[in-house]
């Protein structure tokens, strides 16, 4: 077994990944595309942090799912939404953990914040979570990748 998380991805799979990444997050408004950002180093970073995503990502990049990014995404949405979710996750994780992208966004990364038990946090006072609480819980079923809602 190789220590290289990219060893299982042949050049065709890497090309498919780059095409999908560039399609989902194109360059715009001074921001680079995910196809330009999520190269081997970012992909390896994500797969080292989340090795559970390697096999489903490999399945999402297998041949026969479409000749271009849009058709691959349509096929996955129709036939394997769980794999489509993994593909989305890996691209987004790789993109937004890139220092250059975070710098362009002005986001320094996670920072520790002090919370005081006697003070209501500002985000609660400002009502930022009111719509989320009113909507109720929603999530993706890990078995199917489809949206599930509480009844």
Neighbours of 56 (CB within 10 A): 19
- What residue segments make up the domains of the chain, in order of their start? 11-109
pTM of the model: 0.76
Tens digits of residue pLDDT in 31-52: 999 999 999 999 999 999 999 9
Average pLDDT taken over every residue of the chain: 91
Contact (CB, 8 A) for 99 and 45: no
Report whether pLDDT(1) > 50: no
Q: Looking at residue 148, what DSSP letter applies?
A: E
State the average pLDDT over residues 101-115: 91
Q: Residue 2 — very low, low, confident or very high, per pLDDT cuts 50/70/90? A: low
State the average pLDDT over residues 115-138: 88
Q: How many helices (H) and strands (E) does the chain have?
A: 9, 2
CA distance 104 to 26: 15
């Amino acid at each position: 077994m190789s220590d290289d998380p990219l060893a299982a991805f042949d050049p065709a799979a890497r090309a498919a990944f780059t095409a999908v990444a560039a399609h989902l997050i194109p360059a715009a408004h001074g921001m680079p595309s995910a196809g330009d950002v999520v190269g081997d180093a970012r992909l390896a970073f994500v797969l080292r942090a989340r090795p559970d995503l390697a096999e489903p990502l490999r399945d999402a990049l297998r041949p026969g799912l479409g000749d271009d990014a849009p058709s691959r995404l349509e096929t996955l949405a129709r036939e394997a939404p769980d794999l489509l979710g993994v593909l989305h996750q890996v691209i987004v994780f790789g993109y937004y953990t890139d220092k250059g992208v975070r710098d362009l966004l002005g986001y320094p990364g996670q920072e520790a914040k002090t919370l005081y038990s006697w003070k209501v946090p500002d985000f609660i006072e400002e009502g930022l979570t009111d719509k989320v609480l009113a909507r109720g819980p929603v999530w993706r079923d890990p078995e199917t990748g489809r949206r599930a809602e509480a009844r």
